[in-house]
Amino acid sequence: MKKIVFVFTLLMILNSGELFSQNKTNRITTTKLKKKSLILGPKSSAKIKELFFTAKGFKLPQKIEAINTIATYTGAEPIEGSGNIYTWDFTNGFQISAISEGGGRLGSNDKISLVSFNYGGINSVELNSIVLHQSSLSSIEKIYAKRLIKFKNTKQPTYKVISDKVYTTFYFNEKNILISLSISNYDLEF
């Protein structure tokens, strides 16, 4: 029952657009835990690739403390009836968001259920062989040939790849350009 409540809450957040907001003013943060924005540089970019990407696909770190090896989160907020939302805001507009499993306590030992990568800047951000605001649907189809599955009931083009019990979801705009990416323990499509 807890898993169903968590997935339902997660989908409500995803559908509201708050988690994948491209507008810096709509980002999820709390004033209590708000910290200075982070700088995305070569070391943090390399650590992001190490934490989330493998030669064959994607992986999900176990706890918030793994992402905190890049830098401590800039915001955190509990989700009523579920886990917590953490954000890492970078000065260039890049954002990492993580949702923890239900019942966890706010902090580094909280277990991760979903991580998303968003970019509100005008340029692009490279994540392994995938580039936010630059990679096209056709380029993603080439990388994940015969593994890309289209979501059935979405307004914007949305696709997923399933590997080793990890679900990776690609969100495209109306021009079929990748705008966001999420990695989760759950299938985000009903």
Task: Identify the CA nearest to 188 among candidates 54, 20, 1.
Answer: 20
Residue 18 has pLDDT above 50, yes or no: no
Record the tokens describing residue 66, joined without a space.
């793994």
Strand partners, 180: 118, 171
Record the tokens describing residue 56, joined without a space.
């064959």
Phi-psi domain of 69 (left: phi exceeds 0; alpha: psi -120 through 50; beta: other) = alpha
Residues whose CB falls within 8 Å of the CB of residue 164, separated by 6 or more in sequence, listed in order: 57, 59
Read off the pLDDT of residues 143-181 as tens digits, 9 standing for 90 and up: 988 899 999 888 889 999 998 889 999 999 999 999 999
Q: Is 73 within 8 Å of 29 (Cβ atoms)?
A: no
Read off the pLDDT of residues 50-83 as tens digits, 9 standing for 90 and up: 999 888 789 999 999 999 998 889 999 999 888 9
pLDDT on residue 46: 87
Q: Mean pLDDT, to the nearest integer, of 116-122? A: 84
Strands 166-172 and 158-163, by their bridges, are antiparallel
pLDDT on residue 35: 65
**Alpha helices of the chain — where are they, by DSSP H?**
2-16, 42-52, 64-67, 137-143
Task: Identify the CA nearest to 137 among candidates 95, 173, 188.
Answer: 173
Global pTM reads 0.80
Query: Which range (12-16, 102-106, 108-112) has the least confidence?
Result: 12-16
Q: Is 67 within 8 Å of 88 (Cβ atoms)?
A: yes
